[in-house]
Structure 1
Amino acid sequence: MRRHTINARPDWQRTVEEQGLIYPLTRHPDGSLRPYWDESAYYSFTLGEVEALEETVEELHRMCLAAAGHIVAEGRLPELGVTDPRVAGAVTEAWRRRAELPSLYGRFDLRYDGTGPAKLLEYNADTPTSLVEAASPQWFWMEERFPGADQWNSLHERLVAAWKRQAPLLPPGSPLHFAHSSEDELGEDLMTVAYLKETAEQAGLDTDWISMEEIGWDSFSGRFVDNRLRFIRSCFKLYPWEWLTTDAFAGHVLDTLDNGGGTGSTLWIEPAWKMLLSNKALLAILWELYPDHPNLLAAHLDGPGELTATGWVAKPLLGREGAGVTVHEPGSDPVPREEPCCYQELAPLPAFDGNHVVLGAWVVEDESAGLGLRESSGLITDEYARFLPHVIL
């Protein structure tokens, strides 16, 4: 694994926008616009590194599924903050019927520097983003800058194939709606949903488009409807389950939840059991089930404990873009947190030329599918991170 500097292509911004990346720049607190898509540098990997990482990702995915089954079987959902009996019942039923429910993708965030085993930082299998830039612009960048090279990237093909395989699980006779929140100011969620809609269409599915805020409730029929008053029988939503089950219409969601084959109900993708894989409590339960696993970091739910000697990171159980994450150096005194947290062993992101990098390794269905890299100035990968392409040399 190496970082290389390179000149950006002329008119790179227009190029990546045409390839689907509608927010190539990020506005920083000082008001300046700086590249989010950063092709002034790239990372290279050997084929052996990528093959080993693929095996690691698929093993971690299997471990996470086993941990999800353990959480349900042992009644540990309250440790994830799921205390509403109706929500817990929905998650449990979705897990038990998961073979009947479409489930598409997830992203592992890994610490890796090319010299030792990759370490799991977290897993988001409910609403992961940075998908478009990993699937499309970086592939076309490689083809233009390194003709004949390769890349850890079969995302597009695998997504289309996944929709084809899972099409029989969708309710017949109505389009698959794709929804994002109109509160998304950056356009990241809009872009991600638009891309996934395109992959579904390439798989031959009938699709339609709606924002979460436009979804209506027909009290006469007791159904969710779109802005043409059509019954929404299935919907891919880039909208976290913890929001969906606490919003004003949460009761209707739970009343009409299709966990496999129901009529008069709505099938949501990702399914409710994905809440198990997008909660930081999963990290502590993994450590409990697989202690000292080479790809895991020590993690606890009841405080840092022995991690005060090595340093730790406190992560809210729910959150994105590094929000609420705090870093504590070795020997620090424990800091009380009001919200439930996972306390994970400190493993500082490796720095290449002063840039801290995290690997975003993608899974489609149950298989490794691709890689995206984000750099940050500090140890926390936040909303000001930059996306850099990669090649296999």
Structure 2
Amino acid sequence: MRRIPHGPVRDGWRLTNYSLGLTYNDDVLPDGTTYSYWQEGPYYDFTAAEIEELETASTTLYAMCLEAGDWIVQQCPRRTAEGRRQGYFTSICTAESCFLTRIGVPEYTHEQIIRTWFDGDAETWTHQDKDPDGRLPMGTPDWSPSVYGRFDLWYNGAGSVPRLLEFNAQTPTSLIEAAVIQWHWMDQTGVAGHEWRQWNSIHERLVGWEDAPGEPGDPGAWRRNIGKLREARPWLPEKPKIFFAYETSETSGEDRMNVAYLMATAEEAGYPVELIAMSQIGWDVAGDRVLFVPRPGQEHKAESIDVIFMLYPWEWFWHEEGGKAFFRNMADPEKRGTVWMEPPYKAALLGNKALLPVLWKLFGDDPERGRYLLPAYFAESSGAAKLTSYAKKPVWGREGGSVTLVRDGVPVTDVPSEYGSDGRYIVQELCELPSFDGLEGTVHPVIGAWLIDGEPAGMGIREGIGTAGLVTTNTCNFIPHVIS
């Protein structure tokens, strides 16, 4: 793993990147200065063995996360048939009895979090639920599609072991940069030589590929997931329309373009698609249906939503007005409710920092798997009190917000934000990002290891500058890579 500070600079690279979807490259910092998110010139060079190490770590970590999700579910009283019969209006989950309640997940969501987690696993969710009253069993076989996710890893090249910093399981961005922009950069600069070599099969794993003309290869994440969904819901058309929703209050265009790219891959895989705003998602009170409403006052033109991908945090969604109705619709025993991607379990079980102490509890003593982890504890625990160098992170946080780094009891840097206002924090043993020499000063890279349908698929690298760059925020740069 080497940082090459003086790579080729393409003529008109800004316009090229813009035409490929990087419409949010230039931004203005709070002090009024402008900066370029994409760094043209520097790049990272890896050996094949280093990439294999990162792939192995990603595969192992994902398997561990699945076991951790099972452990979290086992702590919820609503995991049983009896617990589900209690209904919405009977509270049976407490912070002492339920891990989800402890970290602030509303109890009314637990049943669907658990149901979507077990979708496709008939033995754990379906057969135990035979209702003595003769009603349709809750949890008849279904499928909750999950397409992507991203591990943020500490790594310093050969001789070091990748370490998990966090799992962006539900709403990771920087997808266009990793899947498309850096691939074209490699093609156009030729820095990888005659053999185009980059850890990057993101696009192919989304849309699929043929081993040879006319020969089946990999169907891709979209076809595989929608195919399983149609097996569970045969009333869906062969090519169900997939809506893609983003939050328009994010004004840089990053959310819109990341969603648009995912939408383009679904369309390439053969599905009808439509890009919509979160504000265009409505509710049919009479029919208990989720709707796409083109404009206020055009409810007569509303369209039912069967399948939707939303780039919007579930931890915001389930606290908003109407959240209960959407979850009730999701629970439709006839399976006519809307299917959401990514499913709610991606936020509740995997996509928050509380996952880190669970992983450490389960695997910290495992010499093989535990080496990919850093000791992590809830901030109020005795384990946390023993750490003198640590990263303090809000359970629900994004883009480095409210993260504080402490070295030998002394704060090094922090990122003030509104995250963590509920007082829920974890601490993770400090593992400062590696340091490389850059033209702007010392830079600190973090590896974004992408998963497509649960399999390692590629890498994107973000780096910050100086002490502030030890926490990766939304102002950190994207740097491409090649494999020697």
Q: TM-score, normalised by structure 1?
A: 0.95
Assess if the C-alpha contact under 8 Å between 1:44 and 1:391 holds in 2.
yes
8 Å contact 1:313–1:327 — kept in the other structure? Answer: yes
Determine the structure 1 residue equivalent to 2:107.
85
Q: Specify the code of the residue in structure 1 equivalent to 2:482.
A: V
Correspondence 1:390 to 2:481 = yes
Q: CA deviation at 1:8?
A: 2.2
CA deviation digits over 1:273-310, x for unaligned, max 9? 11211010000000000114111000001437556554
Secondary structure in 1 matching 2:371: coil
Partner residue of 2:241?
175
Counterparts of 1:116 and 1:71 in 2: how far apart (Å)? 30
Displacement of 1:42 in angstroms is: 0.2
| CA deviation after TM superposition for structure 1 residue 217, in Å | 1.5
The aligned counterpart of 1:361 is: 449
CA contact (8 A) 2:112 2:331 kept: no
Question: 2:390–2:430: 8 Å Cα contact kept in structure 1?
Answer: yes
The residue identity in structure 2 corresponding to 1:67 is: A
**Corresponding residue for 1:3?**
3
Which of structures 1 and 2 has the bigger CA Rg?
A: 2
From 158, 167, 178, the equivalent of 1:123 is 167
Deviation at 1:26, TM superposition (A): 2.5
Q: What is the rounded CA distance, in whole Å, between the counterparts of 1:139 and 1:165 in structure 2?
A: 25
CA contact (8 A) 1:177 1:210 kept: yes
Q: Which sections of structure 2, spanning at least 5 residues, go unmatched? A: 77-98, 122-142, 208-219, 295-300, 415-419
Tell me which of 335, 344, 348 is aligned to 1:272.
344
Q: Aligned runs of 1:54-65 on 2, under 5 Å?
A: 54-65=55-66
Cα distance in 2, alignment partners of residues 301 and 88 from structure 1: 21
User: How far apart, CA to CA, are the structure 1 residues paired with 2:160 and 2:409?
Assistant: 25
> How far is 1:330 from its partner?
1.3
Match of 1:303, SS state, is coil
1:245 aligns to what?
318
Could you tell me which of 395, 417, 421 is aligned with 1:317? 395
Q: Which runs of 4+ in 1 moved over 4 A?
A: 258-261, 304-310, 335-338
Number of residue pairs matched by the alignment: 390
2:462 pairs, out of 368, 374, 384, with 374
Q: 1:1-393 counterparts in 2 under 5 A?
A: 1-5=1-5, 6-75=7-76, 76-82=99-105, 84-97=106-119, 100-114=143-157, 115-146=159-190, 147=193, 148-160=195-207, 161-168=220-227, 169=229, 172-173=236-237, 174-226=240-292, 227=294, 228-257=301-330, 262-263=335-336, 265-275=337-347, 276-292=349-365, 293-303=370-380, 305=382, 309-332=387-410, 339-353=423-437, 354-377=442-465, 378-393=469-484
- How far apart in 2 are the matches of 1:20 and 1:258? 37
For 1:297 and 1:280, how far apart are their aligned partners in 2?
A: 13
- 1:332-387: CA deviation from partner (whole Å, max 9, x where unpaired): 49x99861011100000011111011000001112100000001122110111000
Distance 2:31 2:165 in 1: 30
Which amino acid letter does the alignment assign opposite residue 62 of structure 1? Answer: A
| Cα offset, 1:48, TM superposition | 0.6
Identical residues among aligned pairs (%): 41
Q: 1:380 to 1:302 in 2, by over 3 A?
A: closer
Structure 1: runs of 5+ lacking an equivalent = none
1:294 match: secondary structure: helix
